[in-house]
């Protein structure tokens, strides 16, 4: 065995890789359970790829067969119901995990130098995930699949000059049809390859800059511990908890994430009374609807998703550390989470009088938080310097071996 390993090692840095990047990978000892979600995202990705592969063996991307093939999977294929419910619940789990992963990054300031590339590749992954989910949602060919795709592709009508042409080009016809279904299936199968590629880049970047930690300040080398066995054990425990929640939905409430209307076959002649996207698109959908003008709404919605990428520029404070040591930033974070929840709610219900206004206010707050951050973060920096940094931060910074340096006033 060791002979074989030596043979491989002489040709490929296997042992070195395992030691440096898996078992011995230096990890801050103070990571909280919020740091489990990166691993969980990777796990859900694998789960989706594997369950998706098995679904694709039985699914028929043909407008006249798609809906029935899903019922075939649910009723005739051995454990087809399990595979399909894992996949449909997995999509929601993926977004839940990613949203928490992003919230953690925002809270602890993990997007700040030197982790900007992690944040930006993460932003790219969010976009790819959204696209993949959107393509996938058409495949069951139910009413909500059909009309959701109709509404979203229709947004491209807002493109100046070529609006109509682009919509037809995307759909492969004047409306959603067989051509659209086939291409969405192909893209839904293809995009995960891009996701896997970008995840690898995300991980290479991670192993260059290393994990951030709850203090938001890079720790001295002595405060890092090897990934194995400490974080393998911790990740396994987190995975167990995750799986309990996940399996609860898969086995006991699998239709919770499926709109009832999607159990009606797509009917181009009958618009559902109330078209709603999947829950993970609701906040952005609410922003789209809050702006009366189509082009404006589309731009605002797009911006609301990609604006996260600007965080490293918008946050101008030089004080190391995450929200734990930044009281003002912390309040902004909490307002943001609450605002996101309100937008989710507004996106889910039919627009009516006061809710329209609430949606508009929430949209305004959403962007205002980002727009004001440069000024607020600068003011917070001044204020904290005057008041004196928290003792814990001072101590972490003073410890000679911390790579972070900061002196007040600048």
Partner 1 sequence: MNQKTMTFLLFGSFLFLTANSRASSDVSLAEVDFDHSVENIKSGAQVAMDVCRLCHEFKYIKYRNLLEIGFNKDEVDVLRGDMPLNTSILSTTKPEIASKLFGMMPPDLSLMAKARRGGARYIYTLLTSYSMDAEEHVDNKLFPGIKMPDPFAYAIRTDDVRQKELDQRIENVSVFLQWTSDPKAKERRRTGYYVIAYLIVLTFLFYLLKRKVWRTLK
Start-to-end CA distance of the chain, whole Å, equals 58
> Is 31 one of the binding residues for partner 1 (CB under 8 A)?
no
Coil, strand or helix: which one is 154? Answer: helix
Among 158, 225, 307, 408, binds partner 1 (CB under 8 A): 225
Active site residue 76: no
Site string for partner 1, 56-75 (x = CB under 8 A): ---------------x--xx
Backbone angles phi, psi at 265, to 5 degrees: -60, 145
Active site residue 278: yes
User: CA 61 to CA 59: how far, in whole Å?
Assistant: 6
> Is 15 one of the binding residues for partner 1 (CB under 8 A)?
no
> Is 248 one of the binding residues for partner 1 (CB under 8 A)?
yes
> Is 8 one of the binding residues for partner 1 (CB under 8 A)?
no
> Is 179 one of the binding residues for partner 1 (CB under 8 A)?
no
User: CA 109 to CA 315: how far, in whole Å?
Assistant: 9
> Is 348 one of the binding residues for partner 1 (CB under 8 A)?
yes
In the complex, the smallest distance separating the C-beta of residue 139 from partner 1, rounded to whole angstroms, is: 17
* Catalytic pick among 88, 92, 145, 211: 211
Counting residues that bind partner 1 (by CB under 8 A) gives: 44
- Nearer Cβ to partner 1, position 27 or 153? 27
Among 8, 186, 241, 357, binds partner 1 (CB under 8 A): 241
**How many other C-beta atoms lie within 10 A of the C-beta of residue 22?**
12
> Is 389 one of the binding residues for partner 1 (CB under 8 A)?
no
Site string for partner 1, 272-311 (x = CB under 8 A): -------x--x-----------------------------
DSSP 10-73: TTS-HHHHIIIIIIS-EEETT--GGGGHHHHHHHHHHHHHHHHHHHHTT---STTTHHHHHHHH
- Nearer Cβ to partner 1, position 57 or 338? 338
Longest pairwise C-alpha distance within the chain: 75
**Closest by alpha carbon to 60, among 149, 170, 145, 178?**
178
> Is 342 one of the binding residues for partner 1 (CB under 8 A)?
yes
Active site residue 235: yes
> Is 250 one of the binding residues for partner 1 (CB under 8 A)?
yes
- Nearer Cβ to partner 1, position 52 or 283? 283
Active site residue 377: no
* Positions of E strands within 191-282: 224-226
CB within 8 Å of 199: residues ≥ 6 apart: 42, 45, 125
* DSSP label at residue 274: S
**Closest by alpha carbon to 26, among 294, 227, 270, 290?**
227
Provide the binding-site residues for partner 1, judged by CB under 8 A: 29, 71, 74-75, 81-82, 85, 225, 229-230, 233-234, 236-237, 239-241, 243-244, 247-248, 250-252, 254-256, 260-261, 263-264, 279, 282, 324, 334, 337-338, 340-342, 344-345, 348-349
Could you give the residue numbers annotated as active site?
Answer: 207, 211, 234-235, 278
């Amino acid at each position: 065995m060791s002979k074989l390993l030596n043979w491989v090692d002489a040709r490929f840095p296997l042992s070195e890789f395992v030691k440096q990047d898996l078992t011995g990978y230096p990890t801050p000892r103070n990571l909280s359970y919020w740091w489990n979600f990166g691993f969980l995202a990777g796990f859900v990705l694998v789960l989706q790829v594997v369950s998706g592969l098995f679904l694709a063996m039985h699914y028929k991307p043909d407008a006249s067969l798609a809906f029935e093939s899903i019922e075939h999977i649910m009723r005739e294929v051995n454990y087809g119901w399990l595979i399909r419910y894992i996949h449909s619940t997995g999509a929601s789990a993926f977004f839940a995990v990613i949203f928490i992963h992003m919230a953690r990054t925002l809270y602890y300031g993990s997007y700040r130098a030197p982790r900007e590339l992690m944040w930006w590749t993460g932003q790219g992954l969010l976009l790819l995930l959204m696209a993949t989910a959107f393509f996938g949602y058409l495949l069951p060919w139910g009413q909500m699949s059909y009309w959701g795709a109709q509404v979203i592709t229709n947004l491209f009508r807002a493109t100046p000059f070529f609006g109509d042409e682009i919509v037809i080009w995307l759909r492969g016809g004047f409306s959603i049809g067989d051509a659209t279904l086939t291409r969405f299936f192909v893209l839904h199968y293809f995009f995960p390859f891009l996701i896997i590629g970008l995840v690898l880049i995300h991980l290479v970047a991670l192993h260059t800059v290393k994990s951030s930690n709850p203090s938001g300040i890079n720790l001295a080398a002595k405060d890092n511990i090897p990934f194995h066995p400490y974080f393998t054990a911790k990740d396994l425990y987190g995975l167990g908890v995750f799986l309990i929640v996940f399996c609860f939905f898969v086995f006991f409430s699998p239709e919770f994430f499926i709109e009832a209307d999607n159990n009606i076959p797509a009917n181009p002649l009958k618009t559902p009374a109330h078209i709603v996207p999947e829950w993970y698109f609701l906040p952005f959908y609410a922003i789209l609807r809050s702006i009366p003008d189509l082009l404006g709404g589309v731009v605002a919605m797009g911006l609301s998703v990609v604006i996260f990428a600007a965080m490293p520029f918008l946050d101008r404070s030089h004080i190391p550390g995450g929200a734990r040591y930044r009281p003002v930033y912390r309040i902004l974070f909490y307002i943001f989470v609450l605002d996101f929840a309100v937008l989710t709610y507004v996106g889910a219900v039919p627009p009516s009088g006061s809710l329209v206004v609430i949606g508009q206010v929430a949209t305004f707050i959403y962007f205002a938080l980002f727009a004001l951050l440069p000024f607020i973060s600068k003011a917070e920096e001044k204020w904290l310097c005057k008041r004196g940094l928290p003792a814990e931060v001072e101590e972490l910074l003073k410890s000679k071996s911390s790579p972070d340096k900061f002196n007040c006033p600048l």
